[in-house]
Structure 1
Amino acid sequence: MAARFRVALIIERVTDLATRPAPPLLGRAAPALLGYAAVRALGLVTLAVWSAARDKSAYTLLTARWDSLWYVRVADLGYGYEVRLPNGDVHSNLAFFPLLPWLERAVSAVTRLAYADAGLVVSTLASLAAAWGIFAVADHVYGRRTGICAVLLWAVLPIGIVQSMAYTESLFTALAAWALYAVLTGRWVTAGTLAALAGLTRPVGLAVAAAVWAAALAPSFVREWSAGEPDGAPMWRRALGMLLAPLGAAGYVLWVGHHTDRGPFGYLDVQAGWRNGFDGGYAFARFVAGRFTSFPLALAGVGLVLGVALVIWLYVVCVRQRQPLPLPVYTGVVVALALGASGYFGSKPRLLMPAFPLLLPLARVLAGLRTTRSGTVLGGIAVASALYGAFWLSGSGPP
């Protein structure tokens, strides 16, 4: 009788667990978010110690260098500010998309913080939202353990310190990740709205729009990957999502063309003033080849070749593992624009940061290991990343 009672009790508990509603997404993501916050805290403490030892300000490094200064100028002065260099180049703040400056103004108006401080607040909150969004996507496709590992891998990227700077990487990744999650769960209007906001953040926002369009035009993807029944959603929702998705990037580019009286190609002219454009990677290939002119530079050249090869290999793996269609579409556009850009070669690792689906194959491998082993691997990488980030940001660094 006792044995039968135990068996009945076990069956009852299993049935209860099977029928109990899944925990809220935030609850499921809690370990990932706590781990992410710990990695970012480690990076910031390391930066503070490193910069203090070199008589530099960690705060200044995070809020008042390179692009962060330009975003603050947009928030403070609006568009129209430009710098003319001795060689004739014109650096215009029209190159910088408006969502981050708008948010800096909004936070400053509410909190009375300076625009630079407001930018740091936005970036901090956006980085947590990005981590949560990455978890949501990975958890939906591959499960909770993979979601946690994907977030931690994104946190320990060698230039992960950028996620804590007053830059757009965290904000854009948050919008992109949640837009992709909305696509995966059939929320077409939400996906289109988030894609439009991503397009107001960076030019590569068109990658998010492309993912929305690809999913909307591929019903077989919806049936295979989506939770719920989005394929049965009214066509007007899907059409509205497709309509909204490119409006952010297209709207800003067209506004710049009108503002500069240069037509639809005005934004390209603005980028040309920064010696930036798209040539399919020709200039980058020449830059890499130029590293092999001497022995010390050749080591950097080998590192660049291996880095590009790793990115391409991971993308191929993502495709072969049959990631949901929006993910390789989004990732492919981000990678193509990052590697194919003709300028600012030192910024390419930063430009690749939003391509988080590249990390999913590695996250699946880590998820298959014992927790102690995967934790040891990630912990060691986190320490190395914190040290490299402090060294990288305290030096000349990337623009």
Structure 2
Amino acid sequence: MDAAALAGVLTVLRVAVLAVLAAANGKPLGEQLVAWDAQHYLRIASEGYAQEESFAFFPAFPLLLRVLGGSAAAGIALNVVLTVVMTAGVMALAQRRGAGRAGQLAAAAVVTSAPLSIVFTMPYTEALFGALAFWALVALVDRRWLTAGAMVCALGLVRLTAVPLVAAFFVYVVWAARREWRAWVGVAVSPLGLLGFLIWANAHLPRGYFALQRENWHSEFDMGLATARWVWNTLTAGENVGYLLATCVIIAAPVCLALAWRRLDPPVWLFAAALEANILLSDGLMHSRPRLLLPAALVLMPWAVCAVRLLRPAVAWTLVGAWALLGAWVSAYMLVVFEWAI
């Protein structure tokens, strides 16, 4: 009940702020909720992989959409439910670090209100990804290896960024459970969903999946050169507010990761580190980085828990509320005012 109530309040906040900015800019709210990549998922749900560029998008979410009828309303409703599941996952992770009810709620509020969290309410994959990833991390913390392997396997059918969780799973088993055979079975199962889709996609693409990503979205590993160049250009000569907001997230992500060292359970920190490395050390659409980094907001959990533990309740919850409002505004601005895809 706590997770459902919290997710409901935050969803209403995000949509309300989006409605205000949409009205101020003369844009229909409904169109904003199904913008950009949502159109790709809706088209795949109704038509299948009929276009070459559709193969860049993994099948789990559009398949669920298809089962539910394939409409935009079904996608939004599905993600509202998945946001509740994701919120409960964050609360479970905080509970395993010793947080009480207030700490769990604060952690979940902060993690699920990060900039660009509006996509949790749109027909995007982020809510499904977060729900599976966070509960897979709960299973890893609990050392339920086979459950974790199955969930990471399913995650591989949602987004390519399942790779960081596969890597974190392997590293954690090498470090903490290399004598447990169930752990190795979980590791072996974890990449099968991802590999299965890539093999299938490559069989239908003349130049392969990664060539498609490179040609359409400039996505390729370059040790962070493109990210560093983009951040430098934005900070020294940029005039676009959206670029500056994205740059702030890009800079804050590794700083928060470093500060969270030893303050999170090892698999959680390893996943956040692997995800940030995967995103920040690659080329691609830089203004989409805040969305791609949403699962790494787990690194903010320790500070949310500390706030409710050390500060007066009114102060702590004011800070949490201010963060949620900031995340809602950044989300709405990037969706309504910013001219490029999120």
Shared fold per TM-score greater than 0.5: yes
Moved more, 388-397 or 92-101: 388-397
Q: How does 1:38-53 map to 2 (within 5 A)?
A: 38-53=9-24
The structural deviation recorded for 1:149 is: 1.4
Match of 1:361 among 287, 291, 302: 302
Of 56, 69, 75 in structure 2, the residue corresponding to residue 95 of structure 1 is: 56
Aligned to 2:329: 387
Please identify, of 306-315 and 202-211, the stretch whose mean Cα deviation from structure 2 is larger.
Answer: 306-315
Q: Structure 2: which 5+ residue stretches go unaligned?
A: none
Report the AA paired with residue 69 of structure 1: Q
Distance in 1, Cα, partners of 2:205 & 2:211: 9
Q: Shift in Å at residue 217 of structure 1?
A: 2.7
Number of the residue aligned with 1:66: 36
- The equivalent residue for 2:231 is 288
Contiguous gaps of at least 5 residues in structure 1: 1-29, 83-91, 109-113, 222-230
Letter in 2 for 1:98: P
Note if 1:126 corresponds to 2:82: yes
The 1:150–1:247 alpha-carbon spacing in structure 2 relative to 1, beyond 3 Å, is: same
Per-residue deviation at 1:117? 2.3
Summarize the Cα distance change of 1:291–1:387 in structure 2 as closer, same or farther, 3 Å threshold. Answer: closer
For the Cα contact (< 8 Å) 1:134–1:356, is it kept in 2? no
After superposition, what is the alpha-carbon deviation per residue over 1:74-104, rounded to whole angstroms, capped at 9, x for unaligned? 112211404xxxxxxxxx1111111111110
* Whole-Å separation in 1 of the counterparts to 2:244 and 2:122: 29
Alpha-carbon distance between aligned partners in 2 of 1:80 and 1:238, rounded to the nearest angstrom: 39
Alignment of 1:228-377 (within 5 A): 235-260=180-205, 262=207, 266-274=208-216, 275-292=218-235, 294=237, 296=239, 306-321=248-263, 323-368=264-309, 369-377=311-319
Contact 1:116 1:166 in 2 (8 A): yes
Aligned-residue offset at 1:202: 0.5
Q: Return the TM-score normalized by structure 1.
A: 0.78
Give, in whole Å, the separation in 1 of the partners of 2:279 and 2:231. 15
1:225 corresponds in structure 2 to none
Sort the Cα spacing of 1:389 and 1:301 in 2 relative to 1 into closer, same or farther, 3 A.
Answer: closer
What letter is aligned with 1:103? L
Q: Which structure has the higher relative contact order (CA within 8 Å, separation 6+)?
A: 2
1:103-158 deviation digits (Å, cap 9, x = unpaired): 101111xxxxx432222122111111111111111111232333221111023323
Matches for 1:156-235 after TM superposition, within 5 Å: 156-219=113-176, 235=180
CA distance in 1, matches of 2:253, 2:36: 26
Rg bigger for which structure? 1
Compared CA separation, residues 302 and 286, structure 1 to 2 (3 A): same
Match of 1:99, as an amino acid?
A
Identity of aligned residues (%): 30
The reply on whether 1:147 has 2:147 as its aligned counterpart is no
1:22-80 CA distance string (max 9 Å, x none): xxxxxxxx4354233212211212222332343322122112x2111111121122114
| Aligned residue number for residue 72 of structure 2 | 116
Q: Give the AA of the match of 2:277.
A: A
- CA 1:277–1:101 in structure 2 vs 1: closer, same or farther (change >3 Å)? same
Partner of 1:22: none
Larger mean CA deviation between 33-42 and 241-250 belongs to 33-42
RMSD: 2.4
Could you tell me which amino acid in structure 2 is paired with residue 73 of structure 1?
R
Give the C-alpha shift of residue 320 in structure 1. Answer: 3.8
